[in-house]
Amino acid sequence: VSADTVLAPLRAALDSCRPSVQKQVCNDIGRRLTVLEDAWAQGKLSAPVRKRMSLLVQELEQQHWDAADEIHRSLMVDHVNEVSQWMVGVKRLIAETRNLPDAATDGSAETEPKTETEPGQEE
C-alpha cells in the first residue's frame, strides 16, 4: 500500500470539511496528516498499520462511518505507540466528515426529511 493511496483520500476529506469546520480544527487535522505522511515516508509504520489505514480509508470513502471508527479503535488499541501522534487527527476527520451535510445521503444514517411548516399549520 502506498502512502498516497491512504493520504490522498484523507486530504480530500479534509478539504471537503474546510467550508463547515473551524479553521483551527482543520489546521490541526492537516498537521497530524503530515505527521502520518512523514512516519510513512520514513518507514516507521508497520505493515499491519499501513494495511489497516488502507482499509480505514476505503470505509471512509464508502461512508461506512462505524466501520472506519472500528478500525481506528483497533489501531489505537493494538498499535498505540505507532499511531498516537496522528490518529487523533484521523478520528476527528472521520467525525467531521460524518457530520457533513451530504454525508447523510448514502442511506447509512437515519435522517428525517426536513419539511417547512407554514404558519398556522402546527398541529
- Give residue-wise pLDDT tens across range 47-66: 999 999 999 999 999 999 99
Answer yes or no: is pLDDT of 120 > 70: no
DSSP state at residue 10: H
**Residue 34 domain boundaries:** 3-99
Answer yes or no: is pLDDT of 114 > 60: no
Q: What is the mean pLDDT of the chain?
A: 87
SS3 62: coil
Mean pLDDT of 64-92: 97
Task: Look at residue 64 in the predicted model and tell me its pLDDT.
Answer: 97
Lowest mean pLDDT, pick from 51-55, 96-100, 105-109: 105-109
Residue 47 falls inside a structural domain: yes
In the chain, pLDDT over 90 holds for what percent of residues?
A: 80
Residue 85 falls inside a structural domain: yes
**What domain count does the chain have?**
1
Residue 68 falls inside a structural domain: yes
